[in-house]
Amino acid sequence: MDGNRAAGRETSNGGLFYGWIVVGAVFVVMTVTAGLGFYNLSVYLKAFIAERGFSVSATSGATACFFVASGFAGLGVASLIERYDPRWVISAGALLSALATLGAGYVEELWQLYAFYILFGVGYAGAALIPGTTLVARWFVRRRSIALSVASTGLSFGGILLTPVAAAMIEEMGLGGASPWLASIFVLGVVPVSWLLIRPSPHALGLGPDGDPIIRDESGAPLPVDGIDFDNAIRSRFFVLTTIAFIFAMMAQVGVIAHLFRLVATRSESNDTAALAVAVMATASIVGRLLGGWGLAYMSSRLFVQALTLVQGAALVLYSLIDSRFALIATTILFGVTVGNLLMMQPLLIAEAFGLKAYGRIYSFNQLFMTLGVATGPAAIGFLYEWLGGYDVAFLVMAAASGLAFLLVILGGPVRALIERKSNA
């Protein structure tokens, strides 16, 4: 322990703070889990329909089960990482995901299709956002926004780097041939990195968050983790209204992402322009997230979220009005900046508002409700498109959802109201 403390003092004063190594490892884990998991769902959907003859509705319903299973499993994952080393949970999640991926090659019946997506959703919950953001929140306080922006950029890199590789492998070898390779990549890309580089908390190296000395009580023991307990947090006005705000914001965002290619292709009469728009959105999301993490050091998180919802709403209004190639690409840059940042802001707000005492469980409870927005957004735009005969009004409705999110964030009140009330009690 004394050696660890000495190493910790040296690291915090002169060398690279080990928390950045953890951030790099979480970046890699998120790259693999998002690239072969979240972003790869559309690839699996196409393959199951083309190779196994499942209907679009059946496969779409099974895909929705991935999000439902991931949302509910996240509650258990959060409890586990509070009690055990997160590396065990991440490894178990990666192994379950790999097992599901391996099983994709054997899916023939409808029940097997649903079992694949449910198991995959449970594994994804164990290896992805909840443990990753919890680790970053433990290691950083002052520089948390920058650290989380870097770590969560792995999500975008996964979609850019690994999903095309997975799609090409499935196209070339089929589900049966590609599945063992994809399962191996999942395990080898997550498990060794987790155990070699991740440490469960800065205390494990004799450090405090941001590399500061550990704060101790009069007996010399480290002070317990401060924060709001789970029951009080989820009943607070801030949690309830901010969670509802993000449901509407993510409904609009994910819905637009799902329909962006078709919107741009229809308006510009060019699939090449639509493909360019998707690439521009991904690039803007990465750049925007990194700039957002830096900018949060100079402005309040609440004000930043309000700005994001307004910018997203403005972009969706523009989408409903424009049809020129230049205007579509320019609007996509504006929209893409919000894509990376809104996802990043959820764990940041929860850590800032409620501390680390029950962070994992509070965040997982928040994410369970986020599945409502993620699942209903694409369907809502599709329904409005069919009902009204176009995207114009559909995107205006999504812009209104972003505006409602803006108002709900205001009504939620100050971010640290509960923490400050507890401190003053």
Q: Is residue 212 part of a domain?
A: no
Whether residues 202 and 235 fall in one domain? no
Taking the CA atoms of 283, 36, 76 and 245 in sequence, report the sign of the dihedral they define: positive
Residue 213 domain-assigned (yes or no): no
pLDDT of residue 305: 95
Residues 161 and 245 in one domain: no
Nearest to 403 by CA among 313, 305, 308: 313
End position of a domain, from candidates 149, 174, 207: 207
> Are residue 28 and residue 170 in the same domain, yes or no?
yes
Do 92 and 155 fall into the same domain? Answer: yes
| Residue 284 in domain | yes
What does the alpha-carbon distance between residue 341 and residue 292 come to, in Å, rounded to a whole number?
7
If one counts the domains in the chain, the total is 2
Query: Within this chain, do residues 333 and 414 fall inside the same structural domain, yes or no?
Result: yes
Looking at 207, 240, 256, which one is the last position of a domain?
Answer: 207
Specify if 215 maps to a domain: no
The 10 Å CB-count burial string (b at 16+, else e) for 222-248 is eeeeebbebeebbebebbebbbbbbbb
Q: Please state, in angstroms and rounded to a whole number, the distance separating the CA atoms of residues 397 and 383.
A: 12
Is 173 inside a domain boundary? yes
Residue-range definition of the domain harbouring residue 142: 2-207
Does a structural domain hold residue 223?
A: no
Same structural domain, 184 and 277: no
Query: What pLDDT is attached to residue 421?
Result: 74
Quote the crossing angle between the two packed helices 325-354 and 359-388, to the nearest 10°. 150
Q: What is the largest CA-CA distance in the chain?
A: 72
Contact of 139 with 19, CB cutoff 8 Å: yes
End-to-end CA distance of the chain: 35
- CA dist 39 and 266 (Å) reads 23
The answer to whether 309 touches 403, Cβ cutoff 8 Å, is yes
Query: Domain boundary residue among 207, 239, 256?
Result: 207
The runs of H, that is alpha helices, within 226-358 are: 230-234, 237-268, 271-295, 301-321, 325-354
Same domain, 354 and 388: yes
Assign residue 234 the CATH number of its domain. 1.20.1250.20
User: How much is the pLDDT for 223?
Assistant: 62
Whether residue 165 is found in the same domain as residue 100: yes
Angle of CA points 339, 344, 347, to nearest 5°: 145
* 289, 336 contact by CB (below 8 A): no
pLDDT of 8 = 39
Evaluate whether residue 218 is within a structural domain. no
Dig out the tokens for 415 from the structure. Answer: 């971010």
For each of the chain's 425 residues, which pLDDT tens digit applies?
Answer: 444 444 433 444 457 899 999 999 999 999 999 989 888 887 888 888 888 888 877 777 787 788 889 989 999 999 999 899 999 999 999 999 999 999 999 999 999 999 999 999 999 999 999 999 999 999 998 888 899 989 999 988 888 888 888 888 998 999 999 999 999 999 999 999 999 999 999 988 988 889 888 777 666 666 666 788 899 999 999 999 999 999 999 999 988 887 887 888 888 888 888 888 888 888 898 899 889 988 888 889 999 999 999 999 999 999 999 989 999 999 999 999 998 899 889 998 998 899 888 888 999 999 889 887 777 888 788 888 888 878 899 999 999 999 999 999 999 988 877 777 766 65
Q: What is the reported pLDDT for 94? A: 97
Contact (Cβ atoms closer than 8 angstroms) between residue 105 and residue 176 = yes
Query: Using CA atoms in the order 337, 340, 343, 347, what is the torsion angle rounded to 10 degrees?
Result: -110
Judge if 74 and 130 occupy the same domain: yes
